[in-house]
Chains A and B, each alone.
Chain A
């Protein structure tokens, strides 16, 4: 007889975003609805342009992180190390057998700006290119950095799924633990480090928001508002530790939530435009896997990028799945769109809201596209989440949904 799959829990988090480094600072800023949007200034972000976004302030790296690793790591690598450190401590992973810990870094091609800077610097003297470029141009360098710093020896690899990468990394981590491949799996949504090339491409493709709010950057990022015109980028990284319930309890670690069910759907569409049917299929698959009815979901953390078409279809999907009663807010309105990191960051945001029994506000939701939905508007709202649904959508027809159940210890 086949035994029931083990209950898998989310037992540790790490977060780095422009509004705050670490779960305490991030959580407080989230509840206040802070923002860090402005014309981006990081070298390699602009080329006669004025793209808006939220960039990390100067970071403080934990003392425990090897300075030798930090020295040659890219920004994505440095932030991955610091964010994973927080999650590692949060879940008390020092006590776990390294051979039973895995790592999945969500994202692909996420170090573009650093590559552009190297190309520009060495274009006229390529024979003197620094050898560490041989490592740092590979996204898997993040896995190398993290496994050298932390005792992870089960497995480590990247997983690309466009803007659903972060959530897909968490889903695969849940499956790796559920199957018994490892006892603990760390999912990391890697910081997407856009260069001016990607900014221009995303702008030209109609995905990135326009210059309409150039003089009022705090108004530019407005998911689900009638005046939205595309996503606004935000640097961020999220880490989630996944393990079996009994494994966490044995270490006296209090999980944030249980993974109740999840689903993915592929649209057979190479393009950026999403599909209503795909989103519905992912949501229904997740609900069925969790053995939940739509009425059981009381909070939705949507993809909500600020895309003109994407936001519209996502709300249609929520309605079609009979979820319009659930409270809903837009994390990206505060963090910006982290692309590869977004799904993991939003799961962290959901877990922190669960633990705080409070839902964060949505910025710039002045004229909601669908005012009849149960929006958390300009102010945070007290609420004990019972079951949350978090959604991610990626270019190339990728849809994913994860149901989280409040921790019942």
Chain B
């Protein structure tokens, strides 16, 4: 899956997890915390993405991502490594 598609997947999972974000126009620089998403909901979004990608990695290994673009990059890297 190309990087862009992973970003789309993150956005899709965010919208499914937080219905209030359904209309939000996501950008790579969006930080979930700044969109009012709490830590538990962020974890829920990430777990959904991991399952969609069938990735089995600890959540903590994604902690370095500062925004959803970096999260998508990191997921892409984990997936191809």
Interface, chain A (partner B; CB < 8 A): 67-68, 71-72, 125, 127-132, 134-135
Query: Which of B18, B19, B41, B51 sits near A128, CB closer than 8 Å?
Result: B51
The interface residues of chain B, by DSSP majority, are classed as helix
- Is there an interface contact between B20 and A129, defined as CB atoms closer than 8 Å? no
Shortest C-beta distance, A128 to chain B (Å), equals 4
Shortest C-beta distance, A158 to chain B (Å), equals 20
The 0/1 profile, CB within 8 Å of A marked 1, for residues 12-53 of chain B is: 000000111000000000000000000011011001101100
- Is there an interface contact between A131 and B47, defined as CB atoms closer than 8 Å? yes
- Is there an interface contact between B19 and A129, defined as CB atoms closer than 8 Å? no
- Is there an interface contact between B40 and A67, defined as CB atoms closer than 8 Å? no
Interface, chain B (partner A; CB < 8 A): 18-20, 40-41, 43-44, 47-48, 50-51, 56
Note all chain A residues with C-beta closer than 8 A to B41: 68
Note all chain A residues with C-beta closer than 8 A to B47: 128-131
Closest to A131 in B: B43
Closest to B18 in A: A68
Closest to B57 in A: A127
Q: How far is the CA of A56 from the CA of B40 in the complex (A)?
A: 29
Shortest C-beta distance, B5 to chain A (Å), equals 19
Note all chain A residues with C-beta closer than 8 A to B51: 125, 128
Closest to B45 in A: A131
- Is there an interface contact between A132 and B44, defined as CB atoms closer than 8 Å? yes
> Can you sample 18 A-B contacts with CB below 8 Å?
A67-B19, A67-B20, A68-B18, A68-B20, A71-B19, A72-B40, A72-B44, A127-B50, A127-B56, A128-B48, A128-B50, A131-B40, A131-B44, A131-B47, A132-B40, A132-B44, A134-B40, A135-B40
The interface residues of chain A, by DSSP majority, are classed as helix
Shortest C-beta distance, A269 to chain B (Å), equals 41
Q: How far is the CA of A131 from the CA of B48 in the complex (A)?
A: 10
Residue of B20, B47, B48, B50 most packed against chain A (CB within 10 A): B47
Shortest C-beta distance, A197 to chain B (Å), equals 26
Q: How far is the CA of A127 from the CA of B20 in the complex (A)?
A: 27
Note all chain B residues with C-beta closer than 8 A to A68: 18, 20, 41
Shortest C-beta distance, A277 to chain B (Å), equals 48
Q: A68-B41, A127-B56, A132-B40 are in contact. List 18 more A-B contacts (CB 8 A).
A: A67-B20, A68-B18, A68-B20, A72-B40, A72-B44, A125-B51, A127-B50, A128-B47, A128-B50, A128-B51, A129-B47, A130-B44, A130-B47, A131-B40, A131-B44, A131-B47, A132-B44, A134-B40
Closest to A130 in B: B44
Note all chain B residues with C-beta closer than 8 A to A130: 44, 47
Shortest C-beta distance, A125 to chain B (Å), equals 7
Closest to A67 in B: B19
Q: How far is the CA of A71 from the CA of B20 in the complex (A)?
A: 11
Note all chain A residues with C-beta closer than 8 A to B43: 131
Q: How far is the CA of A129 from the CA of B20 in the complex (A)?
A: 23
